[in-house]
Amino acid sequence: DAGITQSPRYKITETGRQVTLMCHQTWSHSYMFWYRQDLGHGLRLIYYSAAADITDKGEVPDGYVVSRSKTENFPLTLESATRSQTSVYFCASSESQGAGQPQHFGDGTRLSIL
Amino acid sequence: DAKTTQPPSMDCAEGRAANLPCNHSTISGNEYVYWYRQIHSQGPQYIIHGLKNNETNEMASLIITEDRKSSTLILPHATLRDTAVYYCIVRVATGGKLIFGQGTELSVKP
């Protein structure tokens, strides 16, 4: 089915481990985004990408790494997970950043770091 | 990007219109008003957006005041499935990031 999919939906890991969250979209959208959502903070932008091989920091990038070798994929890596990174992570995509181009979100990955 | 203010929660009877207000008194001339909603355990869903004129689509209507300092999202016939957190966001047309506030938690009751 077309759309934006995130995997895994749920993940439990330990502090210090590396973990990668996957995001795949089938629309060939240029822009892709990673957000985290925590109680009391709403959604906060971690990183975004305007095209393959172009990425930029958002509001809360520390502790995260992204790459975009292909237009359709935008993985997010926690190189050494910490408890403060326990959160729900959402990936989104949009055709452009222009008016009338909404962001479409995946259903999220619930990440727990013990 | 301008900041928005929304009531934290609202109730609405099923079948009635839900009117969700948003204040954005510092909005600039090139900033659009966007509305998203988030149903529990799902990602945010785009609803509608506008600049000056009122807008309507299959999901909702957006009424923007003439001075653009506030707007109202209208769900004409609310159903139980419309229970969600509704976010009002203002951002510039190009390059502006979506900044989500706390939103309004709408409860539609039978």
Segment B8-65, tens digit of pLDDT? 999 999 999 999 999 999 998 888 899 999 998 899 999 999 999 899 999 999 999 9
> What confidence tier does A17 reach under pLDDT thresholds 50, 70, 90?
very high
Average pLDDT over all residues of chain A: 92
User: From A31, which residue of chain B is nearest by alpha-carbon distance?
Assistant: B95
Token readout for A2 is 């077309």
Q: Read off the pLDDT of residues A41-53 as tens digits, 9 standing for 90 and up.
A: 788 999 999 999 9
Tokens 């305007």 correspond to A50
Select from A111, A109, A110, A84 the least CA-distant residue to A23: A109
The vertex-A63 CA angle with A62 and A67, nearest 5°, equals 95
Residues in chain A: 114
User: In this complex, which of B41, B43, B97 lies closest to A105 when CB atoms are compared?
Assistant: B43
Structure confidence at residue A2 (pLDDT): 59
- Cα-atom radius of gyration of chain B, to the nearest Å? 13
Q: How far apart are CA B48 and CA B71, in angstroms?
A: 12
Contacts of A107 in chain B (CB under 8 A): 41-43
User: From A48, which residue of chain B is nearest by alpha-carbon distance?
Assistant: B97
pLDDT score of B92 more than 90 = no
Please indicate if any CB of chain A lies within 8 Å of the CB of B40.
Answer: no
Asked whether the beta carbons of B4 and B22 are under 8 A apart, the reply is yes
Contacts of A41 (CB under 8 A, 6+ apart): none
Q: Read off the pLDDT of residues B63-87 as tens digits, 9 standing for 90 and up.
A: 999 999 999 999 999 999 999 999 9
Please indicate if any CB of chain B lies within 8 Å of the CB of A48.
Answer: yes
Please indicate if any CB of chain A lies within 8 Å of the CB of B8.
Answer: no
User: In this complex, which of B93, B101, B102 lies closest to A99 when CB atoms are compared?
Assistant: B93
Q: Please, which residues 74-93 of chain A have a Cβ atom closer than 8 Å to chain B?
A: 90, 92
Please indicate if any CB of chain A lies within 8 Å of the CB of B39.
Answer: no
Cis peptide upstream of residue A75 (ω within 30 degrees of 0): no
**Burial of B98 per CB tally in 10 Å (0-12, 13-18, 19+):** buried
- Of A100 and A90, the one with more pLDDT: A90
pLDDT score of A1 more than 60 = no
Cα-based distances in Å from A40 to A52, A77, A100, B44, B61:
33, 24, 29, 16, 29
Contacts of B102 in chain A (CB under 8 A): 42
